[in-house]
Amino acid sequence: MDASTADACAHERDEIQNLIVRQAMEPQMDIQSIETIVREEVGRSLNPLTSEHARTAYSRPQRRSQPTTEPTLEQSPRKTDLWRPTDNRPVCFHCGRPGHVVRYCRDRRAIFNTYRRNQGRDS
């Protein structure tokens, strides 16, 4: 090998070594730059949330307004009122006439009294 080829080989060897060193350093630089970019992005995205959270932590709790219930002027009729006429007398469930209830109904008592009288004759 003559001197010119030796110099060319040495020069190529130096370039290859420099290239290898640069390639070895580039991934580290890329990783570091990615890490810094991620940190900055996370910091930017979390910063507004933490500042809003700090503001709301010191605010007073809001009270809910209770709905006001107004008394109704019209009262709904009770179920017992359906069996009373306008003069408020009770209506009998057995005969349907106003003024008494089933327990004191004369027609019903008459039916039972007749039954009792007939029972005494049959035995």
User: Would the pLDDT of 50 be above 60?
Assistant: no
The structural domains of the chain, with segments of one domain joined by +, span 84-122
pLDDT of the residue at 52: 54
Mean pLDDT check: name the lowest of 5-19, 25-39, 43-57. 43-57
Percentage, residues of the chain above pLDDT 90? 10
Q: How far is CA 44 from the centre of its chain?
A: 32
Cα–Cα distance measured from residue 7 to residue 62, given in angstroms and rounded to the nearest whole number? 84
**Three-state secondary structure readout of 27-44:** HHHHHHHHHHHHHHHHHH
The pLDDT tens digits of the residues spanning 110-122 come to: 998 999 899 877 6
pLDDT band at 79 (very low <50, low <70, confident <90, very high): low
